[in-house]
Structure 1
Amino acid sequence: MYRRSPPGQLSFENFYLPFGGKLSGENRWVKLAQLIPWEEFEAQYAEQLSEGMGAPAKSFRMALGALIIKERLGTSDIETVEQIRENPYLQFFLGLSQYSDKAPFDASMLVHFRKRVKLELIGQLNEAIVQQHRENDASKPEGTAESSDSIDEDNRDDEPPSASNAGQLIVDASCTPADIRYPTDLSLLNEAREHTERILDLLYAQVREQVTQKPRTYRLKARQQYLPIAKQRRVKPKLRRKAVGQQLRYLRRNLAHIDALIAAGASLAQLDNQLYRKLLVISELFRQQQWMYQERQRRIDERIVSIAQPHVRPIVRGKAGTPVEFGAKIVISCVDGYVFLEHLDWNNFNESTQLPEQIERFKQRFGHYPASVHADQIYRTRANLQYCRERGIRLSGKPLGRPKQSEQADIQKQAQADAAIRNQVEGKFGVGKRRFSLARVMAKLAPTAETTIAMTFLVMNLEQLLRQFLFVFFAVVLSQEVFQFNRWQRQWRDPQCALAAA
């Protein structure tokens, strides 16, 4: 059941503190709460919850606010709840009317928050926050840098495409590694064998009276054959293949025993959801590993690299030190320092095919095409070059073919300038992976991991807006101090002004 929160933003002056005092309006969490349009997306959040059945659910502000606090502080679910319980500013940020020493929810609720606040909702919220800030900047007097992009739509129709283009679009792709052990065929098969042995024990307990002899699994022998190979730092290919074949045969025997116990009357309904899900994953894992072993291949489509997280796929990046990463592949765009998550997929894909869609989305957001697109070399395909040329967009990088001798200096200078601009999106990835949680996504389910990834970019945009807000505030305070100092200096130099002021 969902109960809508009362309309209107909570004022920090009315926030009740039982131990006396009041909140400061200059606190970062108070300022951050003013930047988020909580009420605009509450109806969309409430659609997935019943209004008349079940216990009352937590509000949208509490759900989104808890995820923002967790991402911004970089804490675990349990530590996030403890921080909220101890800090009155965090409780105000969540929409509470007064401070309470009790936690507003259990740490396990953060999993439900990540399921309810979905990837699409976060993307819409991110765009609304950025668009609102850009509209506020566009309403400034003429002559400011922000108002230069505000061109009337009716005047654009009569202009050539390149004349109405404005702004820079910076795009890039990366991988967000999941929190899994580095996968090898041997370790995956050994883990699958151990899970099937546990399933066999549970199923045999149901039909102990019908089946007098328990199926043999040779678990001790299989473990003894696995450990010597697993402990070696460098394993010869023949030994590795032999060990993989042994584990495959043990796993095939266990799966056959499971089928026999089910035929004898055992029920898979007695297994818990996680163990039943792992059995389904192990069946597909065995099929993939058996095919690669027989065909002597090292790759297969939809390859499973984690039994606990079967949605994770290997992403070949070709980077030094980490040629292959395991997680979701994302494509982001950067405009005026704001980041947008354009595409997320657990399977590998060619990011160059996403460029036309990103450019069209740029036009939907800002009303015009970008003047230039800054991307790495993989985006410079003939199709993308033709697409940008038809719309008067300059795609960064050196042109195709051999340039003239007289143009080489200008081309080199332009390429260096484009590379300097593109460093901005590389910096965003660096901040996301060093400051926030993109370097290792701890969420285990695919929807919750997608929410965690999208939340990172939302918090990064909020951080930038908060820095700009505080910069303007301190600039105003500093200008007032300078004005008072100049006034005092004039009075000190001119005694008549001092007497008049007195």
Structure 2
Amino acid sequence: MPFGGKLSGKNRWVKLAELVPWEAFETSYAEQFSESQGAPAKSFRLALGALIIKERLGTTDAETVEQIRENPYLQYFLGFHEYSDQAPFEASMLSHFRQRLSLELVNQVNARLVEDALAAERATPAVENGEMAAESRDLQTPVEASSDAEPSSSTESEDEDEPPMPPNQGQLIIDASVTPADIHYPTDLHLLNVARASSERILDYLHNAIAQPGMRKPRTYRQQARRAYLKVAKQRRATRQQIRKAIGQQLRYLRRNLGHIRRLVEAGAPLSVLSRFWYRRLLVIQEVYRQQGHLYQHRQRSIEHRIVSLAQPHVRPIVRGKAGTPVEFGAKISISCVLGYCSLDRLDWEAYHEAADLPHQVEQYKARHGYYPESVHADQIYRTRTNRAWCKERGIRLSGPPLGRPKAGAKAEVDRQAQADAKICNAVEGKFGQGKRRFSLGRVMAKVARSAETAIAITFLVMNLERCLQAMTLFFVLILATVVGLKGPRNSARSDWQPLGSLKAA
């Protein structure tokens, strides 16, 4: 290779570069750019590869660029033909990459990756007494599965238009979780204080736009408002009455500022003097004032589409009911897991009931594999009567004990099956743990909604790439163990062994 040296084919980044279907999505990515205007766009491989590197290494945008500049393997992963000591792009380009690569596009790449990985595992020879033999049975194609079933009766016509439905196969594990956003823990008092301070900045911009000699700036009482907020915010245990009084004060200060802004606009102050950031902030402040005023006047504690952050107004509170974190603030996601590969089936910033996603996730499984799963493993919240009836119509077993009192003598078998189902469900919990502890699902740092959605989808793509590397390693280990076992202990040692330093590039 023209790097002034040779790269090892056993390097992880070289293997990962062969797994990602770069060429399949280059055209669809390039359709969003103009051929006649602007500078030439970066390639799809460069954009997606940079985000994969950032997520896998857990680095910042600036550090990601430095890692790419210093590492020839990372440059090979991005499609470079030769090593360069120059940075391939500015760190700010990663923000553009996150907005250009939509959630749908990343999910398509992920689906193609999982499809290719399952096909590769299906094509590998089964190893007796090993895990791959069991996986190959679960990953049969619809044609192979139908050939193992009982032959059809002679009375059936061979000229039917539609082939018979293959039997249900495999296990589908589904679950939902929340990916917390990087925001200050929201309280009504803190939110109103930030809104009031921002309205004062907007008021200054508008006043300066039409200021004339002798014209006085509207009075805002910003120092008194700040002291009133700190008087309660610094208390160790403020009472409910003190908090309500402080919220009322901030609401009145904010109402006064919004009134001044409205009068300045009527007097001729152009809103165009505000940057896009501050104009958007003004719209958010008005909605926050409306919501908090409604909660204050009606003494309520919840409202639809509640804003909890001025910087990220798309974030919503998601009630989870857990002991440590009963309420989380971020995007709610529903995923499905098959043989260790995860698919992001739904992402929504609003709270929703995940039980309604079960039919869609099962149909997605059928669209990918050609048949329904033999069993669906999910938490208690998914086991509604509607979902039970829907699965029963299609011959799918829904995990968990059946409704009603168990039959006489069958309680032990029901408990055993429920325990086995619970063990299977642990796989998806492990995926959430991997995403939140090893990768960035524990705190999504992207501030824009579209960028955050892409970052979440990239995490699941990287997790599936890790699963592919693990499967490749396991396959070679099992094959090597089988070969060594066939040769016997005397032939187990290789005569052509070379030290690591003498390996040549593949």
Q: Provide the TM-score with structure 1 as the length reference.
A: 0.90
Mapped pair 1:396 → 2:399? yes
Cα distance, 1:485 vs structure 2: 6.3
Q: 1:164 aligns with which of 164, 167, 175?
A: 167
Task: Mark the CA change 1:138 to 1:475 in structure 2 (over 3 Å): closer, same or farther.
Answer: closer
For 1:288, the equivalent position in structure 2 comes to 291
Write the distance in 2 (CA, Å) between the matches of 1:128 and 1:71.
19
SS at match of 1:232: coil
Cα distance, 1:289 vs structure 2: 0.4
For 2:73, the equivalent position in structure 1 comes to 89
Write the distance in 2 (CA, Å) between the matches of 1:472 and 1:80.
31
Counterparts of 1:60-75 in structure 2 under 5 Å?
A: 60-75=44-59
The answer to whether the 8 A contact 1:67-1:110 is kept is yes
Write the distance in 2 (CA, Å) between the matches of 1:199 and 1:210.
21
Write the distance in 1 (CA, Å) between the matches of 2:195 and 2:441.
28
For 1:349, the equivalent position in structure 2 comes to 352
Counterparts of 1:30-49 in structure 2 under 5 Å?
A: 30-49=14-33
The answer to whether the 8 A contact 1:210-1:264 is kept is no
Cα distance, 1:470 vs structure 2: 2.8
Give the stretch that moved more between structures: 304-313 or 402-411: 402-411
Mapped pair 1:80 → 2:59? no
Structure with larger RCO (C-alpha < 8 A, sep 6+): 2
Q: 2:43 aligns with which of 46, 49, 59?
A: 59
Mapped pair 1:486 → 2:490? yes
Mapped pair 1:145 → 2:134? yes
Task: Mark the CA change 1:488 to 1:375 in structure 2 (over 3 Å): closer, same or farther.
Answer: closer
Mapped pair 1:16 → 2:6? no
Write the distance in 2 (CA, Å) between the matches of 1:406 and 1:273.
69
Q: Provide the TM-score with structure 2 as the length reference.
A: 0.90
Give the stretch that moved more between structures: 128-137 or 88-97: 128-137
SS at match of 1:176: strand
SS at match of 2:142: coil
The answer to whether the 8 A contact 2:55-2:458 is kept is yes
AA in 1 matched with 2:170: G
The answer to whether the 8 A contact 2:107-2:344 is kept is yes
For 2:409, the equivalent position in structure 1 comes to 406
SS at match of 1:406: coil
The answer to whether the 8 A contact 1:374-1:395 is kept is yes
For 1:107, the equivalent position in structure 2 comes to 91
Counterparts of 1:12-411 in structure 2 under 5 Å?
A: 14-17=1-4, 21-141=5-125, 144-148=133-137, 149-152=140-143, 164-209=167-212, 212-411=215-414
Write the distance in 2 (CA, Å) between the matches of 1:329 and 1:296.
28
Give the stretch that moved more between structures: 199-208 or 149-158: 149-158
Cα distance, 1:480 vs structure 2: 6.9
Write the distance in 2 (CA, Å) between the matches of 1:327 and 1:485.
56
TM-align CA RMSD: 2.3
Write the distance in 1 (CA, Å) between the matches of 2:164 and 2:247.
60
Task: Mark the CA change 1:193 to 1:488 in structure 2 (over 3 Å): closer, same or farther.
Answer: closer
AA in 1 matched with 2:54: K
SS at match of 1:252: helix
AA in 2 matched with 1:486: R
Write the distance in 2 (CA, Å) between the matches of 1:42 and 1:124.
12
Cα distance, 1:372 vs structure 2: 0.4
Cα distance, 1:281 vs structure 2: 0.2
Write the distance in 2 (CA, Å) between the matches of 1:348 and 1:408.
37
Write the distance in 2 (CA, Å) between the matches of 1:240 and 1:437.
35
- Tell me how many residue pairs correspond in the alignment: 475
AA in 2 matched with 1:102: Q
Write the distance in 1 (CA, Å) between the matches of 2:48 and 2:58.
15
Cα distance, 1:139 vs structure 2: 2.8
Cα distance, 1:107 vs structure 2: 0.4
AA in 1 matched with 2:293: Q
AA in 1 matched with 2:210: V
The answer to whether the 8 A contact 1:162-1:391 is kept is no
The answer to whether the 8 A contact 2:142-2:166 is kept is no
Write the distance in 2 (CA, Å) between the matches of 1:326 and 1:211.
48
Mapped pair 1:466 → 2:457? no
AA in 2 matched with 1:151: P
Write the distance in 1 (CA, Å) between the matches of 2:470 and 2:125.
22
Write the distance in 2 (CA, Å) between the matches of 1:49 and 1:205.
39
Write the distance in 1 (CA, Å) between the matches of 2:474 and 2:376.
29
Cα distance, 1:233 vs structure 2: 2.4
Write the distance in 1 (CA, Å) between the matches of 2:10 and 2:279.
52
Write the distance in 2 (CA, Å) between the matches of 1:434 and 1:34.
27
AA in 1 matched with 2:323: A
Give the stretch that moved more between structures: 471-480 or 275-284: 471-480
Q: Deviations over 1:51-86 (max 9, x none)?
A: 222101110000000000000001111111111111
Task: Mark the CA change 1:213 to 1:487 in structure 2 (over 3 Å): closer, same or farther.
Answer: closer
Write the distance in 2 (CA, Å) between the matches of 1:38 and 1:32.
11
Write the distance in 1 (CA, Å) between the matches of 2:492 and 2:374.
49
AA in 2 matched with 1:44: S
Q: Deviations over 1:131-159 (max 9, x none)?
A: 11222232345784344322328779969
Q: Deviations over 1:342-370 (max 9, x none)?
A: 10000000000010011111000000000
Cα distance, 1:210 vs structure 2: 7.5
Counterparts of 1:421-436 in structure 2 under 5 Å?
A: 421-436=424-439
Write the distance in 2 (CA, Å) between the matches of 1:488 and 1:260.
88
Write the distance in 2 (CA, Å) between the matches of 1:439 and 1:161.
45
The answer to whether the 8 A contact 1:173-1:331 is kept is yes
SS at match of 2:410: helix
Write the distance in 1 (CA, Å) between the matches of 2:242 and 2:60.
41
Write the distance in 2 (CA, Å) between the matches of 1:255 and 1:488.
81
Write the distance in 1 (CA, Å) between the matches of 2:492 and 2:10.
28
AA in 1 matched with 2:490: N
Cα distance, 1:473 vs structure 2: 3.9
SS at match of 2:34: coil
Write the distance in 2 (CA, Å) between the matches of 1:211 and 1:364.
72
Write the distance in 2 (CA, Å) between the matches of 1:391 and 1:115.
40
Give the stretch that moved more between structures: 264-273 or 165-174: 264-273
Q: Percent identity?
A: 61
